[in-house]
Structure 1
Amino acid sequence: MSRLRTWTQVGVLALLWGSTFLWIDLALDALTPAQVTFSRCVLGSAALLIACLVSGRRLPRDRATWGHIVVAAFFGNALPFAMFSIGQQTIDSGVAGVLNATTPLWSLLVAVVIGSDRGLRSVRLVGLILGFTGVVLIFAPWQTTGPVGWGALAIVAAAASYAVGFAYMGRHLVGKGIPTISLSAAQLIAATGLTAPTLSADGLTQIEIGPKTLIVVMILGVVATGATFHLTYRIIAAEGATNAATIGYLLPVVSVALGAIVREEDLSLRIIAGMVVVLVGVGLTRRHQRPVPAPAPAETSAVSATLHRQER
Structure 2
Amino acid sequence: MSRAITTNPTTPALAPTPTTSPPHRFPALDWRIRFGVLSLIWGFSFLLIKVGTQGFAPFQVTFGRLLFGTAVLAAALAVKRERLPRGTRTWGHLAVAAFLLNALPFSLFAYAELTIPSTLAGICNATSPLWGMALSLVALSEDRPTRVRVAGLGLGFIGVLTVLGAWQGFHGLDTKGTALALLASLSYPIGWIYVRRTLAGSGHSHLSLSGAQLLLATLQLAVVTPLFTSIPDGLPVGPLLAIVALGALGTGFAMLLQYGLVAETGPTTAQMVTYFIPVIATIAGVTLLGETLTWSTPVGAVVVLAGAALTQVGTGRRARPGRSAGAFPQEGPSDVVVAPLPPTRDVARPGTPETPAAADASTTSAWQPDAPHTPTANRHPTGAPRPSVPHHERADKS
TM-score, normalised on structure 2?
0.69
Identify, as 1 or 2, the structure richer in helix.
1
Q: Could you tell me whether the CA contact under 8 Å between 1:77 and 1:188 is conserved in 2?
A: yes
Q: 1:308 aligns with which of 364, 368, 382?
A: 364
2:170 counterpart residue number: 143
Q: Which range moved further: 114-123 or 228-237? A: 228-237
Q: Which range moved further: 97-106 or 166-175? A: 166-175
**Root-mean-square deviation (CA), in Å?**
3.0
Q: 2:278 aligns with which of 252, 260, 272?
A: 252
CA 1:282–1:310: 2 relative to 1, 3 Å: closer
Q: Could you tell me whether the CA contact under 8 Å between 1:174 and 1:237 is conserved in 2?
A: no
Q: 1:189 aligns with which of 182, 203, 215?
A: 215
1:263 counterpart residue number: 289
**Deviation for aligned residue 1:150:** 1.1
- Give the SS at the match of 1:111: helix
Q: 2:47 is matched by which residue type in structure 1?
A: L
2:312 counterpart residue number: 286
Q: 2:184 aligns with which of 138, 145, 158?
A: 158
**Deviation for aligned residue 1:213:** 2.6
Report the identity percentage: 35
Q: Could you tell me whether the CA contact under 8 Å between 2:122 and 2:282 is conserved in 1?
A: yes
1:206 counterpart residue number: 232
Q: Could you tell me whether the CA contact under 8 Å between 1:170 and 1:237 is conserved in 2?
A: no
Is 1:84 equivalent to 2:93 in the alignment? no
- Give the SS at the match of 2:85: coil
Q: 2:51 aligns with which of 5, 11, 26?
A: 26
TM-score, normalised on structure 1?
0.87
Q: Could you tell me whether the CA contact under 8 Å between 1:128 and 1:282 is conserved in 2?
A: yes
CA 1:15–1:252: 2 relative to 1, 3 Å: same
CA 1:250–1:40: 2 relative to 1, 3 Å: same
- Give the SS at the match of 2:366: helix
**CA displacement 1:175-210 (0-9 Å, x = unmatched):** 433222211111111101222233145422423113
CA 1:303–1:237: 2 relative to 1, 3 Å: farther
2:373 counterpart residue number: none
**Deviation for aligned residue 1:14:** 2.2
Q: Which range moved further: 102-111 or 187-196? A: 102-111
CA 1:237–1:183: 2 relative to 1, 3 Å: farther
Structure 1: gaps (5+ residues): none
CA 1:192–1:265: 2 relative to 1, 3 Å: same
- Give the SS at the match of 1:227: helix
1-structure distance, mates of 2:123, 2:285: 11
Q: Which range moved further: 148-157 or 164-173? A: 164-173
**Deviation for aligned residue 1:171:** 4.4
2:159 counterpart residue number: 134
Q: Could you tell me whether the CA contact under 8 Å between 1:79 and 1:158 is conserved in 2?
A: yes
CA 1:66–1:76: 2 relative to 1, 3 Å: same
Q: 1:311 is matched by which residue type in structure 2?
A: W
**Deviation for aligned residue 1:302:** 8.3
CA 1:241–1:279: 2 relative to 1, 3 Å: same
2-structure distance, mates of 1:167, 1:233: 19
CA 1:233–1:110: 2 relative to 1, 3 Å: farther
CA 1:248–1:310: 2 relative to 1, 3 Å: closer
Q: Could you tell me whether the CA contact under 8 Å between 1:31 and 1:207 is conserved in 2?
A: no
**Deviation for aligned residue 1:304:** 10
**CA displacement 1:26-58 (0-9 Å, x = unmatched):** 111101111101111111112211221122111
Q: 1:223 aligns with which of 227, 241, 249?
A: 249
2:137 counterpart residue number: 112
2-structure distance, mates of 1:55, 1:227: 15
Is 1:99 equivalent to 2:124 in the alignment? yes
CA 1:182–1:210: 2 relative to 1, 3 Å: same
Q: 1:14 aligns with which of 39, 42, 57?
A: 39
1-structure distance, mates of 2:286, 2:135: 33
**Deviation for aligned residue 1:9:** 4.8
Q: Which range moved further: 191-200 or 250-259? A: 191-200
Structure 2: gaps (5+ residues): 1-28, 328-346, 369-398
- If asked which structure has higher relative contact order (CA below 8 Å, sep 6+), I would say 1
CA 1:69–1:231: 2 relative to 1, 3 Å: farther
- Give the SS at the match of 2:307: helix
**Deviation for aligned residue 1:104:** 1.2
Q: Could you tell me whether the CA contact under 8 Å between 1:163 and 1:245 is conserved in 2?
A: no
